[in-house]
Amino acid sequence: MQTRMVETDGRRQAVLEAGQGPLVLLIHGFPELALSWRDQIAALAQAGYRAVAPDMRGYGGSAGPDRPDGYSILHLVGDMVDLVRALGETRCIVIGHDWGAAVAWHCALIRPDMFAAVAGLSVPFQPRRASGPPISAMAAISKRAGLGDLYISRFQADDAHAIFDADPATALRKCFYGYDGATSDQRQSTGFIPPGEDMLSVVPGDATLPPWMSEAHFADYVAAFSTSGFKGPIDWYRCLDLNWSLTAFVQDRRIEQPSLFIVGERDPVRNYSGKHEAEQPLWLTDLRGQIVLPGAGHWIQQERPDAVNAALLEFIGSSGVL
């Protein structure tokens, strides 16, 4: 397993890779890095695949622009298209977790010729809604439910990244703890923030590292985010309404490639995206499975590596696309 820089169209992307054979692209989410896929890269390489996980735009070793509109879904999909080409390939299987799942779904939606099969972890495919942009709709739903603001709404503020940049170690520890399956119901984050609180203050101050994360592994995260900061990653969220305006051309389009969805039973993201799980068969016409991992939280490829690896290898092997 090695880290190297790959030159793409006007950008340099840091990737973690191993193995030889058909290409499998692994896309991380927030607040993660390519290294979140270490267990999957090792398993895929051993099984005869070329596994490549990039630090995504604005994360770790892959620098991003200063302006928020430089992180639209079209930029993110374009980065993955450019990366596949730079790796000397024309087709691959794409797998994403969290925000990376949204990117993976859109890779499959927009470029089915290149992305031959797709798996999403934790975040189901969510089609574009003709009714209008999502941020105001999220705010209205939260207000009616009386749960406070969904953290995504709070991330729209220009300074939303400041509390993360002020103390990256504490911010990361609280994020991993608050969304982990080993954290009790009473201490786990819900995704909703009451007035006067923020995404970090709602997590207990004595939050510890999850059982699956070593101090050395955590130190790699802290070093990366202390250098690159959180503005770029949170700019992804600031593009949600922009993404809606840019994607009318895929309105009502379905994903026809082989697909798979995996989610942790205790993933807090299900509090606000779980309703889309039931709709997956409507939009994924070759859905090979929806797997719910008992007791797992949000960070499933790191919390449950063996189960995730087994599911991905079975899916990739049976898809017959590479």
Per-residue pLDDT tens over the stretch 79-132? 999 999 999 999 999 999 999 999 999 999 999 999 999 999 999 999 999 989
Q: For the CA atoms of 177, 180, 183, 187, what is the dihedral angle to 10 degrees?
A: 60
Active site residue 298: yes
Contacting residues for 10 by C-beta, under 8 A, at least 6 apart: none
Q: Domain ranges in the chain?
A: 2-129+249-319, 134-238
Contacting residues for 304 by C-beta, under 8 A, at least 6 apart: 264, 293, 296
State the pLDDT at residue 137: 87
Q: How far is CA 41 from the centre of its chain?
A: 16
Give residue for tokens 């092997």: 317
Q: For the CA atoms of 190, 192, 196, 198, what is the dihedral angle to 10 degrees?
A: 70
State how far the alpha carbon of 53 is from the alpha carbons of 21, 154, 178, 262, in Å. 15, 29, 25, 18
CB atoms within 10 A of CB 257: 18
Catalytic residue among 98, 149, 180, 267: 98
State how far the alpha carbon of 314 is from the alpha carbons of 144, 203, 259, 311, in Å. 42, 37, 12, 5
Rg for the chain, CA atoms, rounded? 18
Class of the CATH domain delimited by 2-129+249-319: alpha beta
Active site residue 28: no
State the pLDDT at residue 176: 98
Q: Are 168 and 215 in contact (CB under 8 A)?
A: no
Secondary structure (3-state) at 298: coil
Identify which of 105, 141, 151 has the alpha carbon closest to the alpha carbon of residue 243: 105
Secondary structure (3-state) at 290: strand
Q: For the CA atoms of 77, 80, 82, 83, what is the dihedral angle to 10 degrees?
A: 170
Catalytic residue among 28, 97, 161, 298: 298
State the pLDDT at residue 183: 98
State the pLDDT at residue 145: 72
Residues of the chain with pLDDT under 50: none
The CA angle 176-288-253, to the nearest 5 degrees, is 90
Positive/negative CA dihedral, 266, 311, 301, 214? positive
Side chain identity at residue 2, one-letter code = Q
Give residue for tokens 């390939």: 89
Identify which of 314, 255, 265 has the alpha carbon closest to the alpha carbon of residue 116: 255
State the pLDDT at residue 138: 85
Tell me the DSSP string of 142-203: HHHHTS-EEHHHHTTSTTTTHHHHH-HHHHHHHHHHHT-TTS-TTTS--SEE-TT--TTTTS
- Measured in degrees and rounded to the nearest 5, phi and psi for residue 42 equal -60, -45
State the pLDDT at residue 10: 82
